[in-house]
Each structure stands twice: as C-alpha cells, then as structure tokens.
Chains A and B, each alone.
Chain A
Amino acid sequence: MATLHTRSAARLMIAPSVLLLLAWMIVPLAMTIYFSLLRYNLLMPGMEEFAGLSNYTYFLTDPAFFQAIFNTLAIVLGVLFITVVGGIGLALLLDQPMFGQGIVRILVIAPFLIMPTVAALVWKNMFMNPVNGIFAWLAKLFGLQPFDFLANAPLFSIIIIVAWQWLPFATLILLTALQSLDEEQKEAAQMDGAGASSRFIYLILPHLSRAITVVILIQTIFLLSVFAEILVTTNGGPGTQSTNLTFLVYAQALLQFDVGGASAGGIIAVILANIVAFFLMRMIGKTLEA
C-alpha cells in the first residue's frame, strides 16, 4: 500500500527527470519557433529583424523542400519495406533447427552495432566505389560496366546502406517474438492439416503483428532523422537528389548560416514527425491493448 508519505517521496523522485525532459522539450523548441519568425543570418550579426512568416513561405516554395519531403518518405518507406519483409523471412529461417544457430544469429545482428559513419563509409568506398569497389569488380567479372551507385542512384544507395543497418534489428525482434509462439499450437495446426502457407497467414502473422508494429514504430522514429549516412556518402547530392528534411535543415543552418530559415524548416520537420507519430501511436495503441 502506498502511503501518503511514499506518494510525496515518489513525486520527488520523478520530478528531476520530468523537469529535465520538459525543459529539453520546451526551451529549445520555443527558441526554434521564435527564430523561425526572424530574418537572422549568422554572417550578418546585429541585423536580426522580425520577418513574419516569410521564412516559412521561403521554405514551402523552395523546390528543394519538396524533394526533401519526398526523399524523407522514400527513405522511411523503402527501408521499412526491406527490413520488415526481409526480417520476417530471416526470422522464419533462423527459427528452424540448424547447426550453429548461435553463430548465425551473431553474424546477422552485427550490422546493427556498427556506428552509422563507419557503415556508410565502408559501403561507399569499399563496395559502391565505381573503380575500386567490390560491386565494380563483380560487374567486371560478369562483363558489365561498373555502376556508379552514389552518383547515379544516390537515394537508392542510401536506402540500401540504412536497410543493411536496420535489417538485424527487425530480424532480432521478430525472431524473439516468433520463439514465444507456442510449439504445440503449430503442431496442432499441422495435425489439423494446415499447410505451410495457411499456417503462416492464420497463425504466425497474427502472432507477429505486435512485434511488427513495434518494429515499424521504432524504426520510423529513427529513419525520419537519417543524417550521418547522407553526410558522409553523398552530402545530399548530386544537387538535392539525396537530401532529406534533416539534412536540408542542417545545410541551411550550419552551411548557409541562415538561422531563421533553418528554424522554419525545423518546425516543419517537427510538425511532420508529429503527424506520423499520431498515426503510429494510434496503431500501436490498438495492437498493444489487444
């Protein structure tokens, strides 16, 4: 029984984290909103003036902005598709009896533990480089022209790199969920004459739905903000072909020193993330309560 004494003690113990997170949420965000209404460039100190919504109109009429929105969504959806489908397949495979399962698991998990800058640079230089990369060598082996991935298909290449990092995460979580499926249920279904495909659709997939939702939610949070992979591979280019919203705001702020414009972009990013989060939380709420 929680007494009055423990209640107030509890409040005191929760207070530091709540206050810190509240400050962390509100103070910078309020400043971003304030800056977004100013004409404010770091190269022209002392020239700040109120600019109304002009930063927003600037951002919303910039063709790079729509490209960035498209790229952001393409990265999120592309990576989600590859990792969820691939993750289900891999989890099903790894759940089968085999020799050396533990070692295979370790091999599959590894990419998730690699820091993004290392992953991106290794792929960029040692695999996708059109002269010295492994892919170029493979292409030549089959008598094909080497393909310059990052120049000709920058967005696709980034999706591949990011998907490689997140596939282990999806696999690991789906495998864990799969292993909690009652063995007897599977056997019962089998004895009742359910084939492999109907067992998958009616038994395994529903059992995995919660885990799949969790995978989608968590990956989306991180994928909306992909940054390092773009910075070290394409730098957003060529042009703005691989610039996502995060990278666009970064470039506006720290490369062009346009505090006002970058802040407006940041606020737009927050709004978009909230729209996504709203749908995700509803989706998650439904499956978690079920």
Chain B
Amino acid sequence: MARNVSTQRKLLTTAAAWTIGILIFFPILWTFLTSFKTEAQAIASPPAFLFFDWTVENYFEVQSRSDYFKHFMNSVVISFGSTLLGLLIAIPSAWAMAFAPAKRTKDVLMWMLSTKMMPPVGVLVPLYLMFRNTGLLDTRTGLVMVLTLINLPIIIWMLYTYFKEIPGEILEAARMDGASLAKEIIYVLTPMAIPGIASTLLLNVILAWNEAFWTLNLSAARAAPLTAFIASYSSPEGLFYAKLSAASTMAIAPILILGWFSQKQLVRGLTFGAVK
C-alpha cells in the first residue's frame, strides 16, 4: 500500500535533508573549491565562494614540489597489495568455514574478531623495533604486511557472510558429478563468489587507503602513503591553504568515488554482516 504523503510535507523534508546534507558535506566542498584558488584568495575575508579566478596552479605545484605522485603510488601499492594478499589468505579459510563448518567455527570467527580489539599501541614498540632491526621500516613491503594482518579478520568475516549465502546443494551436486575439490572451487564456487569477493576488495582498499596509525608510525620519506604525506602539511607549511586543499582533494577523490559506488557493501562489511 502506497503511503499518501502530502507534497507540502515532502517539500519540507527535502529542504531539511538537503540543508543538513550540504552542511555535512561542506568541509569537503570547501576543500575542493579552495584547491582552485590562489593562496591570497584562499585566506581572503570574506571568503570567496565561487567568484574567484579559478586556477589549477596548485595541483602542479604540489606535484613539482613534493612529488605527489610518488606518495599516490605508495598508497595504491600498499592498499591494493595488502588487500590482495589478505584475500589470498582469507578465501580458503572463509570457504572452509562456510561450507565445512566444525563445532568450533563460530568460536574461531569470534576470536578473529577479537584480535581487532587489541589497541595498536599495545604492539607499537616491538613492531617498530622489529621493523627497524630488519630494515622494514619505511618500506612498502613492511606496510603491506602490517595492513594485511590488521585487516585480515574483517576480510575473513566479510567473505564468510557472503559465502554463507551460496547454497551448499550446488557444491554437493558438483561433488556428486565427480568434481574434485580444486575443480569445485574454480568452476563452481568462484563464479558465484565473485560479487562478494569484489565488495570485500573494495571495502578493504578503502580501509587500507585511509589507515593512519601504522602508516604514520612506520613510514618516513620513502614509503609514505598519502595519509603520511598529508600529515606533513601540519607543519607551518599547512598555512598554504590552497596547496593543502589541492593535495587533499587528490588524496580523497579516488576513495570518495569508490565509496559512493559501494554504499550497500560498506554497511554490510563494516558490521560483519550483522546489518544488511
């Protein structure tokens, strides 16, 4: 039964929702606009909203001065590297837990979740020292390893909830037809699991891209991804608002776009399937 809503009420809700939506979004919009201003216009009072001399100067400046692209590539390698490695380890585990559950499967899953509750500072000191002694400090390899481990529980949980929804009868039918375990995985399970794996990948890339404890503490000039690169603007250099804005816009744009495409998966993944 369709609800009968008066147009007036609908207009009112629309106005309220749009106002709040734009207010919440405003800092991002403002950063985007400021990135096209000159430094003088960026701090002008009263602030210029749309009527200023648009320039793309800042974007070139950020690249030429601090080699933005290098840090961008670090972010790409670290977030995708850790996610792919995590998937490689997690897919077999999640498959086994979803299709051949044992008595303790639920406990194992809860235990994995509980590892996420350990505060990172609890292991900061030994990890830092280990990294220093093995030369992993400020390397992309080191960061890929750490991010793989911290996101592994989330990857397993997400895959598990997706795999759970694949009907087990199909696998049994394949087995009856004489498919081996390997064939079962490659020809039957994989095609059905691709959407779930893709969402897991997407969410995890977002999380890894934005991770800002380990990346800040374990990287310096060479392996610094965008999180650490932007943090370097907290020094007086950050007073160059236009350049800060240009660097920020480039750092957040890819993830903003990915995230907007995957809203539904975001909810599911972040709540470990508890809210769908």
User: When chains A and B are docked, how far (Å) is the Cα of A249 from the Cα of B126?
Assistant: 13
Q: Is the interface of B mostly helix, strand, loop or mixed?
A: helix
B122 touches A269 (CB 8 A): yes
A97 touches B5 (CB 8 A): yes
Within 8 Å of chain B (Cβ to Cβ): is A53?
A: no
A107 touches B24 (CB 8 A): yes
- How many residue pairs link A and B with beta carbons under 8 A? The number is 300
Q: Name the B residues within 8 Å of A183 (CB-CB).
A: 1, 3
Q: Name the A residues within 8 Å of B90 (CB-CB).
A: 17
- B95 contacts which of A13, A21, A232, A267 (Cβ < 8 Å)? A13
Q: Name the B residues within 8 Å of A167 (CB-CB).
A: 24
- A117 contacts which of B18, B121, B149, B230 (Cβ < 8 Å)? B230
Q: Name the A residues within 8 Å of B1 (CB-CB).
A: 183-184, 187
**Max chain A CB contacts within 10 Å: which of B46, B92, B276?**
B92
**Max chain A CB contacts within 10 Å: which of B31, B129, B234?**
B234
A176 touches B275 (CB 8 A): yes
Of all chain B residues, the one with the shortest Cβ separation from A249 is B121
When A97-B10, A109-B263, A254-B128 are in contact, do A10 and B102 touch as well, CB less than 8 Å?
yes
A110 touches B119 (CB 8 A): no
User: When chains A and B are docked, how far (Å) is the Cα of A253 from the Cα of B184?
Assistant: 50
When A109-B260, A126-B241, A177-B275 are in contact, do A115 and B255 touch as well, CB less than 8 Å?
yes
B212 touches A228 (CB 8 A): yes
The distance from the CB of A288 to the nearest CB of chain B, in whole angstroms, is: 7
The distance from the CB of B97 to the nearest CB of chain A, in whole angstroms, is: 6
The distance from the CB of B118 to the nearest CB of chain A, in whole angstroms, is: 6
When A132-B43, A137-B45 are in contact, do A107 and B22 touch as well, CB less than 8 Å?
yes
- B117 contacts which of A2, A17, A221 (Cβ < 8 Å)? A221
Name A's B-contacting residues (CB within 8 A): 1-2, 6-7, 9-11, 13-14, 16-18, 20-21, 24-25, 27-29, 31-32, 35, 90, 93-94, 96-101, 103-119, 121-127, 132, 134, 137, 140-141, 164, 167-169, 172-173, 176-177, 180, 183-184, 187, 210-211, 214, 218, 221, 224-225, 227-228, 231-233, 245-246, 249-250, 253-254, 259, 262-263, 265-267, 269-270, 273-274, 277, 281, 288
Name B's A-contacting residues (CB within 8 A): 1, 3, 5, 10-11, 13-14, 16-18, 20-22, 24-25, 27-28, 30-31, 34, 43, 45-47, 89-90, 92-93, 95-97, 99-102, 108, 112, 114-130, 149, 152-153, 156, 172, 181, 206, 209-210, 212-213, 216-217, 226-228, 230-231, 233-234, 238-239, 241, 244-245, 248, 251-252, 255-256, 258-260, 263-264, 266-267, 270-271, 274-276
A-B contact list, 6 entries, CB within 8 Å: A32-B123, A110-B259, A176-B264, A210-B275, A228-B213, A273-B117
